[in-house]
Structure 1
Amino acid sequence: MLSERDYQDLLDRMQALRTQVAERLSGSLVSNPALAEEINRQLEDLVTAAREADAAGPQPPDGGLAQLVGVGPDAAQKFGDVKVSQGVAEYDENVNSERVVAVGDLYYIYQHERIGVFKVVQRLKQLFEGGAIRLSGGEGAYRLYQFDRRDVLRYTAKDRTAAYRRVLGYGRGLGAGQSRPNTDFHMLFSHFVNQVTLFWRDKRISDVIRERALDPSFGSIAVVRRAGLDLRNNLKFTSYGHLNVLRVEVMNLLEECFAILGSADVKDLFGAANAWDVVDEVLIRYFDVRLQSSPRQRMAVNGREVLRWLSGNHVMETGRGQFETLLMEIAEPSEEWLTSAQAMSLARRTGTDRVMPWEQMGQAGVAARYSERSPSQMPAARAGGPIYPQRGGLGTYRGGQGGVPARTRP
């Protein structure tokens, strides 16, 4: 552990080194910004190495307290001799990749639930059991039989709905186990996607119309990082519990559903070319709904890609070149997700709102929440107060069960 004098001396010497390097290379740094970034990275690596070496060295049993207050034979004679800590592990360094990936899979499942895949298979099962469709002994018929027999072993639709509410904030009421709904998810997710798309739009404009197009001063990676960290930190506290096993089971269930829908006898029954055609045909014929399969499915695929990107430590990369390279992986998925969500009035593009203040959490802010309910689905006000509408977003319950927000189903 460094003494206070050595600690201050280390910082002063590093500042002097930075100043000296900047003076000697000032001409080159102006014309080559990438050189400045590399120099700063290497100097920061030196500071990090010194900090790690100090932390790995011998530590006083009492953390230097006796030396500081002047007790015992090792009492400091001067303030500069006191041992000083250089800090603790950064908050945003720790992330459980598996849990964030599980949230991405749950988001993927939720969008397919909203399309109606599970209710289509349930309707086919009902029609099959009632002899209302011409299925008998084919592959699809046998898979429908197995689907029904395994039903008692699976998580129910109620379990899935409660998980969506707890982890993603979609739906109504409380989450699984009467837990607190994650009503901030959609706002933070939309905000992060917006910042990624804005970053790459700025980058493209810079490459086309600006002199020295590779100058990294246009567009800030810090804004993207902050939006990503806000979303990732939100997911850290909502991805505990049975989410992992639930998403594994339901992903297998989703695959089983498409095996049924893609069976030859089921496709022939509806004159369909593939499983998605069967889904659309059943939704139109038996549910009379307006199809949203295409945009929802693209939101599922691209939303899962964005969330999986956050499961790594890419967002903590400080080098511009490395950060841009890693961020490019979700540039197109973010743009496509935002386009699909905007087409369905589930999110909106922002051009000037770069930062979302904490005060806007739970309100209609940068990434406003939208309702997908028909008038017949509007819930009555709970005991404790009516629903108060908000401009640009969804109303919230005032009072009631601890101020639980109203139903949000983006």
Structure 2
Amino acid sequence: MPTQREQQERLDRVNALRARIAEQLAGSLASNPVIAEELHRQIDEHVDSLVAAEGQRPAPPDGGFGGLIGIGPDAALTLGETRVPNGVVRYDDQVNSERIAAVGDLYYIYQHEQIGVFKVVQKLKQLFEAGAVRLSSGQGAYRLYQFDRRDVLRYTRRDRLDGYRRVLGYGRGLGAGQSRPNTDFHRLFGHFVNQVTLFWRDKRISEVMRQGANDPSFGSIAVVRRAGLDLRNNLKFASFGHLNVMRIELMQVLEECFAILGSPDVMELFGADNAWDVIDEILVRYFDERLQTSPRQRMAETGRDVLRWLASGHILESNRPQFEALLNHIAEPAEEWLTSAQAMSLAPRASARSVTPWERSGASGATARRAERGPVSGSRRSTRPVPQRRGDPSARSKRPPGSRR
């Protein structure tokens, strides 16, 4: 633990070094800003190593409090001799990547739930049990029998919906275990995806329109990092509990559903070429639904890719070249997710680089939230006045005195 004088001297030396470098390399830094970023990165690494070395010094048992107030043999004679801690462990470093990756899988499962995969298999099972379809002893029929026998051991549909509500904020009511729904997820997720797409849009424009494409004014990594850290911290507390085991079980159920729908006898029954055709056919024939299979499935794939990237810890990279190289992995998935979500009115596309307020009220956000919650149950109470019947005593009592009928 360094003293106050040592800490201040270190800060002054580092600031003087930065000013001296900026003065000597002013011409080169103006034409090539990448040099400035690299110099600052090397200085920051050197300072971090000094801070880490200072933190290895043994601290007094009382943490330096006795020396500060002037008690004991280690009492400080001046304020500069008192010990000053360098700080605590950063908040953003203490996030479990496994839980964030589990949220990505749950988001993947939720989108397939919205498509209607589980509903389709349940309907096919009802038709099979009622003898309403020509399935008997084929591979699909046998898998349907096994699916039904295992159903009592799995999480129920109510459990799935409660899990979506608690972790992702989608749906209605309370989350699993009467917990508070994570209603901020969709807004923060959409904001992060928007900032990623804006960053690469500005990057592409800069490469075409001007010679200095590496100018930091084109694409701010600070905005992207902040949006990603906000989403990451939001999921940190929403991903506790039974999420990990539930997403493993549901991924197995999803695989089993597609094994049933992709069986030769089931595909032949509906004249389909693959399992997705069977899903579309049952949704249209028995549920009369408008198909949203393609955009929802791409939202599932790309949304999970973005959340898995966020779980890897790449968002903590502060060096611009390395950050851009890592962020390039989700450039196309983010653009594809946003395009699909925008087509379904589930997320707006930001037209300007701005910070989204924590408490946001607007038509676009409300529309997206209503779309993910689903249709509103019940009718809205009418605000039209109720006409009074002739001869109503209350109507006669309100007539001003002296007035004629």
Both structures adopt the same fold (TM-score exceeding 0.5)? yes
Report the equivalent of 2:377: 379
Amino acid at match of 1:66: G
**Aligned counterparts, 1:10-409, within 5 A:** 10-360=10-360, 363-364=361-362, 367-368=365-366, 369-372=368-371, 377-380=375-378
CA distance in 2, matches of 1:317, 1:373: 33
Amino acid at match of 1:318: S
Amino acid at match of 2:46: L
Amino acid at match of 1:273: D
SS of the residue aligned with 1:133?
A: coil
CA distance in 2, matches of 1:13, 1:139: 75
Decide whether the 8 Å contact of 2:346 with 2:372 is kept in 1: no
Deviations 1:109-151 (A, max 9, x none): 0000000000100000000011100001000000000000000
Q: Once the 2 structures are TM-superposed, how far is the Cα of residue 214 of structure 1 from its aligned partner?
A: 2.6
Deviations 1:378-406 (A, max 9, x none): 23499xxx99xxxxxxxxxxxxxxxxxxx
CA distance in 1, matches of 2:377, 2:93: 42
Q: Once the 2 structures are TM-superposed, how far is the Cα of residue 313 of structure 1 from its aligned partner?
A: 1.3
Q: Once the 2 structures are TM-superposed, how far is the Cα of residue 260 of structure 1 from its aligned partner?
A: 0.2
SS of the residue aligned with 1:358?
A: coil
TM-score normalized by the length of structure 1: 0.90
Decide whether the 8 Å contact of 2:198 with 2:353 is kept in 1: no
Report the equivalent of 2:397: none
Decide whether the 8 Å contact of 1:139 with 1:264 is kept in 2: yes
Amino acid at match of 1:297: Q
Q: Which moved more, 1:54-63 or 1:160-169?
A: 54-63
SS of the residue aligned with 1:341?
A: helix
CA distance in 2, matches of 1:90, 1:374: 36
Answer with 1 or 2: which has the greater Rg: 2
Cα distance 1:119–1:330, how it changes in 2: closer, same or farther (>3 A)?
A: same
Q: Once the 2 structures are TM-superposed, how far is the Cα of residue 188 of structure 1 from its aligned partner?
A: 0.5
CA distance in 1, matches of 2:63, 2:354: 42
Amino acid at match of 1:225: R
Deviations 1:71-119 (A, max 9, x none): 0111001111001111111111221000000000000000000000001
Amino acid at match of 1:233: N
Q: Which moved more, 1:92-101 or 1:21-30?
A: 21-30
SS of the residue aligned with 1:260?
A: helix
Decide whether the 8 Å contact of 1:188 with 1:367 is kept in 2: no
Decide whether the 8 Å contact of 1:33 with 1:216 is kept in 2: yes
Decide whether the 8 Å contact of 2:170 with 2:183 is kept in 1: yes
Q: Once the 2 structures are TM-superposed, how far is the Cα of residue 158 of structure 1 from its aligned partner?
A: 0.3
Deviations 1:240-275 (A, max 9, x none): 000000000000000000000000000000000000
Decide whether the 8 Å contact of 1:203 with 1:219 is kept in 2: yes
Amino acid at match of 2:86: Q
Decide whether the 8 Å contact of 1:353 with 1:366 is kept in 2: no
CA distance in 1, matches of 2:357, 2:343: 26
Report the equivalent of 1:394: none
Decide whether the 8 Å contact of 1:295 with 1:341 is kept in 2: yes
CA distance in 2, matches of 1:199, 1:288: 41
Deviations 1:295-315 (A, max 9, x none): 000000000001111101111
Q: Once the 2 structures are TM-superposed, how far is the Cα of residue 34 of structure 1 from its aligned partner?
A: 1.1
Decide whether the 8 Å contact of 1:191 with 1:366 is kept in 2: no
Amino acid at match of 1:372: A
Amino acid at match of 2:187: M
Cα distance 1:195–1:184, how it changes in 2: closer, same or farther (>3 A)?
A: same
CA distance in 2, matches of 1:353, 1:79: 45
SS of the residue aligned with 2:155?
A: coil
Amino acid at match of 2:70: G
CA distance in 1, matches of 2:372, 2:81: 67
What percentage of aligned pairs have identical amino acids? 66
> Mind listing any 5+ residue stretches in structure 1 that lack a counterpart?
388-410
Decide whether the 8 Å contact of 2:192 with 2:224 is kept in 1: yes
Q: Which moved more, 1:11-20 or 1:211-220?
A: 211-220
Q: Once the 2 structures are TM-superposed, how far is the Cα of residue 211 of structure 1 from its aligned partner?
A: 3.0
Decide whether the 8 Å contact of 1:190 with 1:367 is kept in 2: no
Decide whether the 8 Å contact of 1:229 with 1:315 is kept in 2: yes
Paired residues, number: 381
TM-score normalized by the length of structure 2: 0.91
CA distance in 2, matches of 1:233, 1:127: 45
Cα distance 1:381–1:4, how it changes in 2: closer, same or farther (>3 A)?
A: farther
> Mind listing any 5+ residue stretches in structure 2 that lack a counterpart?
383-405
